[in-house]
Amino acid sequence: MLGVVIPYWGQSLLRVLGGLVAVLLPAGTIVYVFLFKMMSFMQSRLGPMEAGPYGSLQLVAEVGKWLQKEDIQPTNADKPVFKMAPIIVLMSTFLLVVVVPFGPDAWFTNLETGIFYALAVSSISVLGILMAGWSSANKYSLLGGLRAAGQLIAYELPMVLAVMGVVIQAGTMNLQQIVIAQNAGSMFGIDVFGNPYVITQFVGFIVFMIAIQAELTQAPFDMPIAESELVSGYMTEYSGFRFLIFFIGEFATAGVFAMIASTLFLGGWGVPFSWFGWTSMDSVSNWMNI
């Protein structure tokens, strides 16, 4: 039987893509389910209950619904730009998650300028949103795209200022080193729990979380997709799989930003694992007697 020989770069690419999908899909799913639960709780009602036991398969039903819908493109749209826009938005999410450390020896890439890189690539989604709004040949889409671009650029500044406090205190922009610095420190002279920067950088943490909410165009910063004014904003003319890509990108990005917030302010993977001395995969193996 003939075997297929995959070159090293191809194997590395497959591993990275597989890892990214394995991280982003659960992240987006958790955010999606939490949003449904939160909305139903605020409105004193049950969420969707028809798909599966107690609505447990609602996400699968949503994906199946969008995959079956027709891919409609406006007659006057700039079709190449229209098709590329959702891919650009999703690409921003893929580029963002690669610098997040998931454990003592678990990351896609360990950049010395990790947080600087993360802030830079998070702005790529602005290009995709502008492309979607301009190429749709729709006044609501264009207005939504311009609103989104203006809002995302405006809230980059407070986000950068919030991150600067962490960088100055940790003395590095490397996200893995920021986690280590938090877990190597002490809180009020007690060195058992480390020093999560949410204590010393509490104002920065609040500013960062507000800026994230604005970056994700979620309420109360939902002017770019205000349904009462702009139908669906820059996504108005999208349907089917392309709309689903926007949908996945939005919720996966929310999950990745939550990971970054945890890394910067809540001790990252080190809380609570470093409390047990789990500072490397070898120490975990030794603790489990493997």
Distance, in Å, from the CA atom of 245 to the CA atom of 248, rounded to the nearest integer, reads: 5
Longest dimension (CA), the chain: 67
Distance, in Å, from the CA atom of 126 to the CA atom of 129, rounded to the nearest integer, reads: 5
Tell me the backbone φ, ψ of residue 44, rounded to 5 degrees: 55, 50
Q: Does residue 28 belong to any structural domain of this protein?
A: no
Q: Does residue 47 belong to any structural domain of this protein?
A: no
Q: List the domain range (segments joined by +) for residue 234.
A: 73-287
pLDDT of residue 2: 45
Q: Does residue 23 belong to any structural domain of this protein?
A: no
Contact 270, 179 (CB under 8 A): yes
Query: Domains in the chain: how many in total?
Result: 1
Give the contacts of 28 (CB within 8 A, at least 6 positions apart): 248, 251, 252, 254, 255
pLDDT of residue 167: 92
Written as one string, the DSSP assignment of 93-142 is HHHHHTT---BTTB-S---TTHHHHHHHHTTHHHHHHHHHHHHTT-HHHH
Distance, in Å, from the CA atom of 242 to the CA atom of 67, rounded to the nearest integer, reads: 9
Q: Does residue 13 belong to any structural domain of this protein?
A: no
pLDDT of residue 27: 72
Q: Does residue 35 belong to any structural domain of this protein?
A: no
pLDDT of residue 232: 72
| SS3 annotation, 208-229 | HHHHHHHHCCCCCCCHHHCHHH
Distance, in Å, from the CA atom of 114 to the CA atom of 58, rounded to the nearest integer, reads: 36
pLDDT of residue 142: 82
Q: Does residue 254 belong to any structural domain of this protein?
A: yes
pLDDT of residue 279: 52
Q: Does residue 61 belong to any structural domain of this protein?
A: no
Contact 88, 131 (CB under 8 A): yes
pLDDT of residue 163: 92
Distance, in Å, from the CA atom of 176 to the CA atom of 153, rounded to the nearest integer, reads: 27
pLDDT in tens, the chain (290 residues): 445 566 766 666 666 666 666 667 777 777 777 777 777 788 787 777 777 777 777 777 877 777 777 777 777 777 888 888 888 888 888 888 888 888 777 777 788 888 999 888 888 888 888 888 888 878 888 888 888 888 888 888 899 999 999 999 888 889 888 888 888 766 666 665 677 888 888 999 999 999 888 888 777 777 767 666 666 777 777 877 788 888 788 888 888 888 899 899 988 887 655 555 555 545 544 545 55
Distance, in Å, from the CA atom of 203 to the CA atom of 188, rounded to the nearest integer, reads: 18
Tokens 């009020």 appear where?
188
Q: Does residue 39 belong to any structural domain of this protein?
A: no
pLDDT of residue 266: 87
